[in-house]
Amino acid sequence: MRENDLIAWFAANARRYSHVPVGIGDDMAGVVLPGTVDQSGAALALLKIDQALDQVHFDLREHTPRQAGVKAVNRCLSDCAAMACRPQALLIAVALPQAASTEMVQELFRGCESAAAAFDCPIVGGDTAVWDQRLAITVAAMGDSRTAPVRRSGAVAGDAIVVTGRVGGSILGRHLTFTPRIAEAQAIHQVADIHAMMDLSDGLAQDLPRLLAASGVGAVVDAARIPIHPDAHTLARTDGRSALAHALTDGEDYELLLTLAPADVPRIQALGLAVELTVIGTITAQQQLVLRDDHGTTQPWPRGGWEYESAKP
């Protein structure tokens, strides 16, 4: 079973609850907490849990425990950014290898703490265990939003498709050192009505179709407008794949992918954010995703990006 199929099965088979207006399928879940009220009468808690595994998301043969901790927390916080959420607290559980030293665990915590502190987000608890396998780090975040959280399902025909930063080639080091776009998401959300948003963790080729499927729309993307990171060009010179292919499929960019009305594009560009904001295409009513070249010729959207497959049933 492929990852997308598995997630769809989870969503279809999960029970529905009235106090969970945002369930499986977005970057975070939304839960109304009984007894916790604001001026509107209820507060929506946004929840997320994520894993980072040795020799999957980092490699302790090459990377430090501190780097692993930073990435584990930032992966989770990137999902907070994807819904314009303000992270309020983290819980962290680690499954430590039997050979883990006290110094290794302390460095791991220092990495987690430094990443969380960058957003004034406390680590409020967690769990530790020891086993005969490699290091596994599980991070759970709770946050809130001053307005309705931005979901993947709000894109409408005519929307501009915007990407923050540049994509591709993250394996050269950026997958460990990225900064979650929490501040950027908050700033954009304050001046514009973001219709749909998610973070680019599995690659544009994989993530854009997910946003479109959630919204029931299609898109035309201009290949020449995709902001390609210099790292993608570096890889292209060594492996024979094009820089565009790397930008579309490498994954772990942790940038934001969002849609909004074209009239709002100048408004968000006027914010003067340190990160680039690039319009790469347009949402269409026809539920088809195509890539358009400089000559106006369209081709089917390329397959690729990160998606694990489990054992066959």
Q: Which helix (H) or strand (E) holds 215?
A: helix 204-215
Considering only CA atoms, give the Rg of the chain: 20
Average pLDDT over residues 147-169: 95
Provide the edge-to-edge strand list for the sheet that holds 277-284.
196-200, 255-260, 160-164, 277-284, 218-222, 289-292, 298-300
pLDDT at 42: 56
Any idea how long the chain is?
313
Asked if residue 312 has pLDDT above 60, the reply is no
Kindly report the average pLDDT of the chain as a whole number: 91
| Between residues 287 and 44, the one the model is more confident about | 287
Asked if residue 39 has pLDDT above 50, the reply is no
User: What's the rounded Cα separation, in Å, for the pair 82 and 150?
Assistant: 7
Parallel, antiparallel, or unpaired: how do β-strands 86-97 and 123-131 relate?
parallel
Instruction: Say which CATH class 3-144 falls into.
Output: alpha beta
Instruction: State the burial class of residue 303 (Cβ atoms within 10 Å of its Cβ: 0-12, 13-18, 19+).
Output: exposed
Q: Which residues contact 143 (CB under 8 A, 6 or more apart)?
A: 28, 45, 46, 48, 80, 85, 86, 87, 88, 89
Domain positions in the chain are: 3-144, 160-300
Q: Terminal CA-to-CA distance of the chain, rounded, Å?
A: 7
User: What's the rounded Cα separation, in Å, for the pair 177 and 173?
Assistant: 7
247 close to 232: Cβ distance less than 8 angstroms:
yes
Q: Is 197 left (phi over 0), alpha (psi -120 to 50) or beta?
A: beta
97 close to 132: Cβ distance less than 8 angstroms:
yes
Amino acid at 131: W
User: What's the rounded Cα separation, in Å, for the pair 172 and 73?
Assistant: 20
Provide the edge-to-edge strand list for the sheet that holds 44-53.
29-32, 44-53, 136-144, 86-97, 123-131
Q: pLDDT, tens digit, for every residue of 91-146?
A: 999 999 999 998 999 999 999 999 999 999 999 888 889 999 999 999 999 988 87
Please tell me if the domain spanning 3-144 has the same topology as the one spanning 160-300. Answer: no
Amino acid at 287: Q
Q: Which two tokens stand for residue 257?
A: 């992918």
Average pLDDT over residues 304-311: 65
Nearest of 6, 124, 107 to residue 66 by alpha carbon? 107
pLDDT band (50, 70, 90) for residue 40: low
pLDDT at 38: 44
Q: Residue 277 CB: number of other CB atoms within 10 A?
A: 18
Lowest average pLDDT, out of 119-133, 169-183, 218-232, goes to 119-133
Superfamily of domain 160-300: PurM-like C-terminal domain (3.90.650.10)
Q: Which residues contact 87 (CB under 8 A, 6 or more apart)?
A: 77, 80, 116, 119, 121, 141, 142, 143, 182
